Chains A and B, each alone.
Chain A
Amino acid sequence: MDPIRTREQLVDALMDAGDVEHQLMVQYLYAGFSLRRDPMPGKCTPAQYEHVRRWSSTLFMIARQEMEHLSFVNEMLTAIGAPPHFNRENIGKEGLQSPYFSAATLAREASEGDLVPISLRYAFNRFSVRTVARFVCGESPPYADLPHGVDPFWCFDCPDAAGFRLEQEDEPKTLPARLHADRNEHMEIAAGNVQELYEAIADAFRTLDGIFVTDPAEVEIPVEYNVFVFPVTDRASALAAVDLILKQGEGLGDPWNLDSHFRRFMEIYYEYQRLLTADRGFDPAYKLMTNPLSGDIRDGFVRELFDTANDAYVVLLLMLAGLYARAVPASQDRYPHFATALSQMAFAPAMTMIIRPLNEVLVELPIDRGSEYSVGSSYFIPEGDQALLANPLDAKLGDIRTMLTRWEELTARIARLVAAAPDPQTRSSLEYIRQTSHRIGLNLRQIYQAGAYPKFVST
């Protein structure tokens, strides 16, 4: 990858990094939601279920850390005066190829006789051996940086050693230089892997002078649940953020015995293989379609639930885009409490109480009567919202009425789903989500007007 020499190139590189983190996160969530929530006779014994539970915990933790990385990238963008970037390309029926994960990129320094890395396509796959292997590959450091003694076979096209063969080797050898054609044309950045991308970003932060704005938006997120977000406002904090991202992802700079996404996925892979060897009938995940589209779903209720879950995600993105462009430190919070309202509702509430449970209901419902398949969110962003997300400084994203309208529409959709639910369990689960969604709408309004409710004194 060529060095980054200008602020504009740095902005483009950060947007690429944001794309990567965002796409990884939604794929991890798709696989995570596919994991069983209970033992299932013939597919998953109670003992096997405990493995599944631990994988769920790990996978969701990694997804949270991808959110953390996405947050860091956006903080870096706003710290240098660029708008935040919460947009991303939709993953279509055929998946999506990022240049950072193409065989041509990953193999470009390979010599004859070397193992050749395979292309890794973004795709919504249920949790399976192949899916986990793809995740390992995606989080892997380059061959040269693998710790001594760590077997790299599965990051490469070496089916005999791995005992399975990953798909999608037929990638074009010539790749676009960037993820999006509509980016500005200030740079000629060569595609590289994610580690190289971040190393180039770090070098840019070390060498470029005068790029930080004096009063950047500062998003305050509690440090908890394995998420360690801190404000990025200057060179030191930007470099610390890049360092943390690389340690958590590829494990670079950390001792091998510390956790990284790469190592955790690798451990899951080996554990999964051991269980399959002992019991070929073990199936830890619901049978979710690959890369689902709304049109694939023939059951009207399930299709509406699918679209509603996607909409919840999009509304969250709008809130995040509005927030990261306009955040102020809590100490400077005054009416109108726009950023406070968004930050109080966007993180734990919208993610854990709306998007996740909608998905958990969705994955248990067949896409058609008698079908063995179900779906999770495809995190689809409609064209109109893509346009809005592409311009976070648009006044609409700074207006509480936009957020309230979208949230109230979402709540109304959930209410209609409650009324139409096909069984008592689904109705009960959706009703709890509806209640919470209703209250989140009330909170957005209340906090916007009055600020966050003062906490009692802790001793």
Chain B
Amino acid sequence: MTAPAKLLTARFQGYFMCRIAVDPDPTNEPRGRSGYTMALPSEDPLDQVIRLQPDDYVRKNLRAPADKIGISVGVDVTSVTFDGKPWTGSPNLLGAHVRLLGRGDVFSGPVFVSRNNVIGSDDTMAFVIAPFELALDKQTADGGSLLSLRAVDYVNPAKPDQQLWEIADPATYARRLPVSFDGSSLEAMQAISVFDGYAYFRGRRAFLQDEIARLQAERAKGRDVEQAIQEATSRLYQLEFWGDRVINKLGFRLAWEFDVNGPQSVEGDLGGEAAVDQPWHVRFWFGGWDGDLMVGYMRGDLSIPFEPG
């Protein structure tokens, strides 16, 4: 068969969670001491991992008022096209859950690698996401696997196990650095429906102040709510202490784009034949970052050379 020339493109988007330590905290800081992110005593430690789907960790650590302002974690396929036109083949990837899988030599999942300007650049948000193992999964109504796609990219295909800290020349992983950084992205702000970051975080501060007042009233009745009061106070402290550094990240948009160079696979009936011997192309952005909730928005697509069946 002639190699497919046309592309099946799955577009995905949604909120992600990444409870990440930020400079000047070291990048493996579990609790948060000097940066603006922190793990409160009622929460799990910061683990730096990029999570695109809700799991127990997300459910436990997603802070209020996320649900009230319409934030729920989950990056899913929201449209599928073939050769630029809507793909209506059945079954298809529409609604598939998107995940980043794999683990590095330090963290339990994929992370934005920086090490405070040692590997990436905090100044220009130049982070490699490592490891990179993109997964699209669609399940049957009873929870079985209907479709499962995997696309793995290696920083250095010649040495798949090589870690970023072992590489001297950043040019080696240039293709995995963001291709652009927009510090005030309309697309990111549209995605999260926030156009005035100052008002957004004034609202957050008001929410926390109200919460503290409510808890203080509870305390006056003899309830032991001191921990909750202090946790809310620390969140308020970070917003007031860091100000613009937190606020301006709502408009951030960092984009990546590359041909996947590692194993690619399809399990299940995609309605045609996907070429796994040609590189799949992935492009995506992370942005709209709320540094208090430690969630942001991801949008992107995966394009696969494809021949309909």
Contacts and interface: CB of A to CB of B under 8 A. Distances in A.
B106 A459 contact: no
A372 to B, nearest CB: 22
Interface in A220-250: 222, 224-225
B126 interface: yes
Given A348-B116, A352-B25, A456 B180 contact: yes
Contacts of B241: 57, 61
Interface in A442-459: 442-443, 445-446, 450, 453, 455-459
Nearest to A455: B124
B258 to A, nearest CB: 13
Interface string A419-459: 00000000001001001101110110110001001011111
Nearest to A428: B106
A353 interface: yes
A51 interface: yes
Interface residues of B, number: 52
A60 B126 contact: no
Nearest to B238: A57
Nearest to B180: A459
B119 A439 contact: yes
How would you classify the secondary structure of chain B's contact residues: helix, strand, loop or mixed? loop
A446 B23 contact: no
A458 B26 CA distance: 25
Contact of B165 (A46, A48, A429, A438): A438
A45 interface: yes
Nearest to A38: B31
B33 A56 contact: yes
Given A453-B171, A456-B180, A225 B24 contact: yes
A54 interface: yes
A160 to B, nearest CB: 32
Contact of B179 (A439, A442, A456): A456
Nearest to B183: A458
Nearest to B168: A442
A352 B23 contact: yes
Given A60-B33, A455-B126, A458-B180, A356 B26 contact: yes
Given A349-B117, A456-B124, A439 B41 contact: no
B116 A458 contact: no
B259 interface: no
Contacts of B124: 455-456, 458
A344 B165 CA distance: 16
Given A47-B229, A57-B237, A446-B168, A456 B177 contact: yes
A445 B170 CA distance: 13
A269 B178 CA distance: 45
Interface in B76-132: 106, 115-119, 121-124, 126
A436 B41 contact: no
Contacts of B40: 50
B261 interface: no
A64 B118 contact: no
Nearest to A439: B165
Contacts of B25: 352
A60 B24 contact: yes
A458 B181 contact: yes
A348 B34 contact: no
Contacts of A39: 41
Given A435-B163, A445-B168, A458-B180, A49 B118 contact: no
> Taking each of A38, A429, A439, A440, which has the highest tally of chain B beta carbons within 10 Å of its own beta carbon?
A439
B169 interface: yes
A348 B165 contact: no
Interface in A321-379: 344-345, 348-349, 351-353, 356-357, 360
B27 interface: yes
A37 interface: yes
Interface in A188-238: 222, 224-225
B165 A435 contact: yes
Nearest to A37: B31
Given A353-B115, A439-B118, A455-B124, A432 B28 contact: yes
A53 interface: yes
Chain A's interface size range is 35 or more
Contacts of B210: none
A443 B118 contact: yes
Contacts of A344: 117
Contact of B26 (A352, A443, A459): A352
Contacts of A37: 31, 33
Given A344-B117, A456-B181, A54 B24 contact: no
Contact of A225 (B23, B168, B177): B23
B140 interface: no
Contacts of B238: 57
B230 interface: yes
B231 interface: yes
A37 B26 CA distance: 13
A47 B226 contact: yes
A352 B230 contact: no
A53 B28 contact: no
Nearest to B124: A455
A443 B241 CA distance: 32
A57 B164 CA distance: 30
Contact of A54 (B182, B229, B234): B234
Contact of A47 (B116, B117, B227): B227
Contacts of B168: 442-443, 445-446
15 contacts: A35-B33, A49-B230, A54-B234, A57-B241, A61-B241, A224-B245, A349-B118, A353-B118, A429-B28, A432-B106, A438-B166, A439-B166, A457-B180, A458-B124, A458-B183
Interface of B: 23-28, 31-34, 38, 40-42, 106, 115-119, 121-124, 126, 163-171, 177-183, 226-227, 229-231, 233-234, 237-238, 241, 245
Interface of A: 35, 37-39, 45-51, 53-54, 56-57, 60-61, 64, 222, 224-225, 344-345, 348-349, 351-353, 356-357, 360, 429, 432, 435-436, 438-440, 442-443, 445-446, 450, 453, 455-459
Given A46-B227, A455-B121, A455-B123, 20 more contacts: A45-B226, A47-B227, A50-B233, A57-B238, A352-B26, A353-B26, A353-B118, A435-B106, A438-B165, A439-B115, A439-B119, A440-B118, A443-B118, A446-B170, A453-B121, A456-B124, A456-B177, A456-B181, A457-B180, A459-B180
List 7 tightest A-B contacts by C-beta distance, closest first. A46-B41, A50-B230, A442-B168, A47-B226, A60-B34, A453-B170, A47-B227
